[in-house]
Amino acid sequence: MPLVSMNHFLPQAKKEGFAVGQFNVNNLEYFQAITEAAKEERSPLIFGASEGAIRYVGLNNIVALAKVAAEESGLPIALHLDHGSSFEMVMKCIRAGFSSVMFDGSHYPFEENIRLTKKVVEAAHAVGVSVEGELGTIGGVEDDLDVAEEDATLANPEQAIRFWEETRVDAMAIAVGTAHGMYKGEPKIRYDIIEKVAKNIDAPIVLHGGSGVPDESIKKAVSLGVGKINVNTENQVAQVQVIRELLDKNPDMIDPRKYLGPSREAIKEVVKGKMRLFGSSGKA
Ligand code: 13P
């Protein structure tokens, strides 16, 4: 199957009350681990590629790896630009073969965010590519984005509803208290904001910073209208733990396959667990 836009599965997710995971890709092993997990779970999936990951892996390599995963697995897979910072970057990814993009205009004033996001939606929808927009600023560190906790601002529900009405994005990321990276304590999620926005727009809500959020909180958020959840850090933690242990125990180990292979299994297990938790297992 070729890569698909998120509209292949997000409307169904919103209707049936499950969420599809966006799993960020950092190198080849992530593509392999996430695809294997989705095959075993029969789950739709979204590969998330940040601008940092694109610089590291290479734009054409990312597209090629995602296409191979979709063709060989037969699963509905979207390749999604995570936190796209400009119209130019969005267009570059669409031209290279991405099937979905996020335009993150959350740091612009509200009206400017609407204007720029609308421009992205117009261009992307013309070629069948889905779009995620963002309102409010999500705290934490992810690649080029570094938002101090005190600077993270929650989304205003009325503004979020108007943002969707004007832009018609296919997925709506709103800051509701989660953050990129692992949490020191438990995140305080504003379920009331999720509920109010989800009830008033057709698109599902996107929860960024999915790593480290307790299972019960995820279930509640999904029941209220979250239809896409982003996960990156938990996979990185699982991967590096295995590599550290193996290299500590075997100082002479030099073949990367000997430590990257087992760490790939660890990523796969995390992803499978998330797919079950999000309710996307069996939905492909
Ligand atoms: P985590 O790294 O906290 O899982 O967040 C991922 C994310 O939101 C990507 O946009």
Residues 218-276 have pLDDT tens digits of: 999 999 999 999 999 999 999 999 999 999 999 999 999 999 999 999 999 999 999 99
C-alpha 22 – ligand 1 centre gap (Å): 9
> Has 151 been annotated as catalytic?
no
C-alpha 233 – ligand 1 centre gap (Å): 6
List residues near ligand 1 (CB under 6 A): 24, 48, 82, 142, 180-181, 208-211, 230-234
CA separation for the pair 20, 274 (Å, rounded)? 9
Mutation pick for ligand 1 pocket among 80, 103, 134, 142 (CB with most ligand atoms within 8 Å): 142
C-alpha 94 – ligand 1 centre gap (Å): 22
Q: Give the nearest ligand 1 atom to 83 CA.
A: 10
Task: Read off the pLDDT band of 144 (50, 70, 90).
Answer: confident
Tens digits of per-residue pLDDT, 64-85?
A: 999 999 999 999 999 999 999 9
Q: Give the nearest ligand 1 atom to 236 CA.
A: 2
Residue with CA closest to ligand 1 atom 1 = 209
Tens digits of per-residue pLDDT, 34-49?
A: 999 999 999 999 999 9
pLDDT above 80 (res 184): no
Amino acid at 211: S
Average pLDDT over residues 153-181: 95
Q: Give the nearest ligand 1 atom to 210 CA.
A: 4
- Its pTM stands at 0.96
Indicate the domain borders of the chain: 6-278
Residue with CA closest to ligand 1 atom 5 = 209
6-278 maps to which CATH number? 3.20.20.70
Retrieve residue 38's tokens: 């989705």
C-alpha 212 – ligand 1 centre gap (Å): 10
Mean pLDDT of the residues in the chain: 96
Instruction: Give the E-state strand segments of 12-90 in sequence order.
Output: 20-24, 45-50, 77-84
Q: Give the nearest ligand 1 atom to 138 CA.
A: 8
pLDDT above 80 (res 150): no
Kindly state the helix (H) or strand (E) to which residue 173 belongs, with its residue range. strand 171-174
Mutation pick for ligand 1 pocket among 23, 233, 236 (CB with most ligand atoms within 8 Å): 233
C-alpha 244 – ligand 1 centre gap (Å): 22
